[in-house]
Structure 1
Amino acid sequence: MTDEKNREAADKKPKKNRFIEIIAILFLIAGMIWMASLFFDFSNSIKTNNAQVDADIAAVTSRVTGNIKAIKFNEFGVVHAGDTLVLLNDEEFVIKVAQAEADLAIAQANLAVIKQAVITSKSSENSTAARLKGNAANLEKAEKNYKRFTNMFRDSAVTLNQYDQVTAQLKSEEANLQAMKSEVIASKSVTEQNQLNIESAKATVQRKEADLAAAKLQLSYTKIVATADGIVGERTIHAGELVNVNQVVAEIVVQNKKWVIANFKETQMEAIKEGQLVNIRVDALGGKIFKGRVSNLSPATGAKFSMVAPDNSTGNFVKITQRIPVRVAFTDPPEKLSEIKPGMNVSIEIIK
C-alpha cells in the first residue's frame, strides 16, 4: 500500500514540474514578443490616446462701450447667425445720430446758398458784359465825333469850346470803358470764387454724410448679434453691466465644424501621411467609434508652439520624445456628431 502511494506521488511530481516549465516558457515567449515590439512595429495601425476634439468657437464681442440693456440669449442655447444676443443702452448714440443729421442739413443749406450766389454772380457778370458793349459803342461814337470836330476846328467851323467838349467826351468814354472792363474781370472773379465755394460745400456735405453714416453704424453696434450658427457657451454678463470695446459677451460653438487634434510621438510620424483613414474612439461615449481622415500635419512639434519653448543649450539636456500635432477631420456627416463636444478625449487609430 505504501509502495503504491510512493509511485503515485512520483508520477504527480513530474507532471507538476512540466506544468511549471510550460508556464515559464510562455512567460519567456511573451517577454521576447514584448521586447521585440519595442524595436519593431508588427501592427497594421498607429495609435495614440493623446488626442482631443476641437471645433470653431466664435467669440462675439462688443464694438462700442455701453451699459447692457437686455440679454436675449440663454446659456447653452441654440442660436443662428443674425440673432440678437445683447442690447446696449442706445440713448447717447441716438443723440449723436440726430446731431449728425442736423449738421448735414446745415451743410446742404450752405451748398444751396452758394449755388444761388453763383447764379446771381453769373447774372451780374452778364449784365456787366452787356454794359461793356454799350460803353464800347459810346467810345466808338466819341472817337468819330472827335475826328470830325478836329477837322472842323482846323477849318474854324467850330469854336474851341465845342472842340474841348468833344475831347472831354472822348476821354470820359475811354475811362468808362476801362472801368467797365475792370468790373467785368471782378464779376468773373466772383463767379469763379463762388464755383470754388460750391466744390468746398459739396465736400463738406459728403463729410457730413459720412459722419451721419458713422453715427448710424455706431448706433447699430448697440445691437450685438450672433456671428454664426451654433450653441452659446456660459453667460458671464448681466443686465446693467458696462461692457467695453472688444469685450467678449458670448462664445458660440459652431456645430458643423469639428475635428480632432492628435499628438503623435515623433517616432510615429514616418508612417503618417495625409489622407489616411482613421478610427476615432470617443471615451465619453463608451468607446463609440467614428470615422475620419488625416487632413493636415503640423510643421513643428507642439513644444515649438508653446509660449516658452524649451532651450536644450542650458547644459541640463534630457532627450524627451517630442509630440507632433496631427489634424484629423471627421468623415461622418455633421448630424451624427451632435454628441461630440469640443474638449472630449479620444483615442486615434490610423490605418496604415
Structure 2
Amino acid sequence: MATQDPKNGGKTSDAPPAVSTTKPGAKRIVLTALALIAIGAGAWFGWDWWTVGRFTESTDDAYAKADIVTYSAQVPGRISAIEVPDNTQVKAGQVLLRIDDTRLKSSLAEAEAQVASAKAAIVSTDAQIALQSDNIASAKANLASAQAALDLAQTNAERSQALLERGATPKASTDQQAKALEQAQAALRGAKAGLDVARGQLPVLKAQRSQQEAALHRAEAAEALAQKNLDDTVIRASRDGMVGNRGVEVGEYVGVGTKLISLVPLDAIYVTANFKETQVEKFRPGMKADVSSDMLGGVHLKGVIDSIAPATGSQFALIPTENATGNFTKIVQRIPVRIHITAPQTTDGPSLRPGSSVVVDIDTRGARE
C-alpha cells in the first residue's frame, strides 16, 4: 500500500511500515524477573528491619576520645634534651625530656649537708646526756658520802660535849669537834646543791635534743623536696602510648606549669556518642555497639555501652542554655553515651585516633532481657 511521506514533499512511498522485533514473551519474562527481584529485596530489607533494624539506634554525632596526658614543667629551667620525637610510641617509664639539673644538684647537696649536720648535733647531745647521767650518779655518791661524814661528825660532837660536861676532855677538843660538824653540814649542803645542778642540766639537754630532732626533720624535708625537684627534671611517660604536641625545643627556658608534651594512650581509646534523648530510653550499660569510621575503611569495631552521662551535653557547657523567655522552641537534646571498645587496637595499622568522627549503632535487643 502506498503512503505519503511528509519528509519527501508529500510524495508517496512504497516502503512497508516498521514492525517491532521484541517478542511479547521476553518482555514479560524481564518484567517478571524485575518484580521478583524487587519483592525479594523488599522482603529481605523487611526481614532485616523486623529482626535487627527496629532494635538498632544509630548516630553519627560521635567521636573517638582518650584520656590524653599533658606533661607540664614542675621546676623551672632550660630544656637540656628531648629524648623522643613527636608521634613516637613509648613505654611506661621511658624518658621523654630533660630539664637542666645543675642548680638543683647543688641544692640537693646542700640539703644533704644540712641533714648530716643535724644528725651530728643529735649524736653530740646524746653523748652529753649520757655524761650528765654519769654526773648525776657521781653527785648522788658525793651526797651519800657527805651524809655519812655528817653523821660521824654529829656523833663525835655529841660524845665530845658529854665528855666536856663530865670534865673528861678539854674544851678545845669539843670546839674542834663542833667545827668539824659545821664543815660536814656545809659539805652536805654542797653535795645536795651539786646533785640539784646535775639533775637540772639533764632536762636542758633533752630539750636541746628535741630542738635538734625538729631541725633534723626540717632538714630531711628540705632534702626530700630537693630530691623531688631533681627528679622532676626528668619527664617520664606515665603509661604506654604515643607522644605528640611537643611545645618546647632544646635550650628553651620553661617555667613551672609550662606545657611540654602530650601522651595519647592509643590502647585505651573510647567513643563518646551523642544520642538524642528520644533514643536512650532502652540503653543499658553492657549493650553491644558497632563502631565504624572513615579512617578505618570498611573495618567495624565492636564495643559495649560503658556508661550514660548524668546530664545532657548542654548542661556541661561553660554557659548552659536557659529557656526562660516567652519565645521557646523545643529542641531535642543529646545525651553523651560512652562506648568501650572491646577489640584491642594496634598502633602499626589503621586505628582510631582521638577526635576522629565515627558512626555508632547500638543493639537494644538486650533491653528485652
Pairwise same-fold verdict (TM > 0.5) = yes
- CA distance in 2 between counterparts of 1:280 and 1:200 reads 66
| Letter of the 1:106 counterpart | S
2:181 corresponds to: 170
- CA distance in 2 between counterparts of 1:213 and 1:129 reads 46
Look up the SS of the partner of 1:319 in the other structure: coil
Please give the TM-score of this superposition, normalised by the length of structure 2.
0.80
Which residue of 151, 154, 166 maps to 1:155?
A: 166
Look up the SS of the partner of 1:43 in the other structure: helix
| Letter of the 2:265 counterpart | V
| Letter of the 2:269 counterpart | K
- Asked if the contact 1:255/1:338 (under 8 Å) is kept, the reply is no
- CA distance in 1 between counterparts of 2:294 and 2:284 reads 25
Look up the SS of the partner of 2:346 in the other structure: helix
- CA distance in 1 between counterparts of 2:107 and 2:172 reads 79
| Letter of the 1:121 counterpart | Q
2:274 corresponds to: 263
1:80 corresponds to: 91
Q: Does 1:69 align with 2:84?
A: no
The alpha carbon displacement at 1:200 in A equals: 2.9
- CA distance in 2 between counterparts of 1:90 and 1:67 reads 9
Please give the TM-score of this superposition, normalised by the length of structure 1.
0.84
The alpha carbon displacement at 1:259 in A equals: 1.3
2:361 corresponds to: 349
Look up the SS of the partner of 1:64 in the other structure: coil
The alpha carbon displacement at 1:196 in A equals: 3.2
Which residue of 206, 229, 234 maps to 1:195?
A: 206
| Letter of the 1:310 counterpart | T
Q: Per-residue CA shift, 1:145-177, capped at 9, x if unaligned?
A: 111111111112222232222112212211210
- Asked if the contact 1:81/1:229 (under 8 Å) is kept, the reply is yes
- CA distance in 1 between counterparts of 2:357 and 2:303 reads 15
- CA distance in 2 between counterparts of 1:139 and 1:344 reads 102
2:245 corresponds to: 234
| Letter of the 1:47 counterpart | S
1:89 corresponds to: 100
Moved more, 129-138 or 215-224: 129-138
2:139 corresponds to: 128
Q: Does 1:185 align with 2:227?
A: no
1:43 corresponds to: 54
- Asked if the contact 1:62/1:249 (under 8 Å) is kept, the reply is yes
| Letter of the 1:320 counterpart | I
Q: 1:44 to 1:127 in 2, by over 3 A?
A: closer
1:101 corresponds to: 112
2:30 corresponds to: none
Which residue of 328, 335, 344 maps to 1:333?
A: 344
Q: Does 1:293 align with 2:304?
A: yes
- CA distance in 2 between counterparts of 1:111 and 1:276 reads 66
Displacement over 6 Å in runs of 4+:
none
The alpha carbon displacement at 1:179 in A equals: 1.7
The alpha carbon displacement at 1:111 in A equals: 1.6
Look up the SS of the partner of 1:232 in the other structure: strand
Look up the SS of the partner of 1:291 in the other structure: strand
Look up the SS of the partner of 1:280 in the other structure: strand
- Asked if the contact 1:60/1:227 (under 8 Å) is kept, the reply is no
Structure 2: state its 5+ residue gaps.
Answer: 4-16, 18-51, 365-369
Q: Does 1:312 align with 2:323?
A: yes
Q: Kindly tell me the number of residue pairs found equivalent between the two proteins.
A: 319
Q: 1:174 to 1:70 in 2, by over 3 A?
A: same
Structure 1: state its 5+ residue gaps.
Answer: 6-40
The alpha carbon displacement at 1:216 in A equals: 1.3
| Letter of the 1:318 counterpart | T
- CA distance in 2 between counterparts of 1:44 and 1:112 reads 79
- Asked if the contact 2:90/2:240 (under 8 Å) is kept, the reply is yes
| Letter of the 1:340 counterpart | L
Q: Does 1:245 align with 2:256?
A: yes
- Asked if the contact 1:301/1:325 (under 8 Å) is kept, the reply is yes
- CA distance in 2 between counterparts of 1:279 and 1:118 reads 77
- Asked if the contact 1:97/1:215 (under 8 Å) is kept, the reply is yes
Which residue of 278, 281, 284 maps to 1:273?
A: 284
| Letter of the 2:292 counterpart | R
Look up the SS of the partner of 2:175 in the other structure: helix
| Letter of the 1:221 counterpart | D
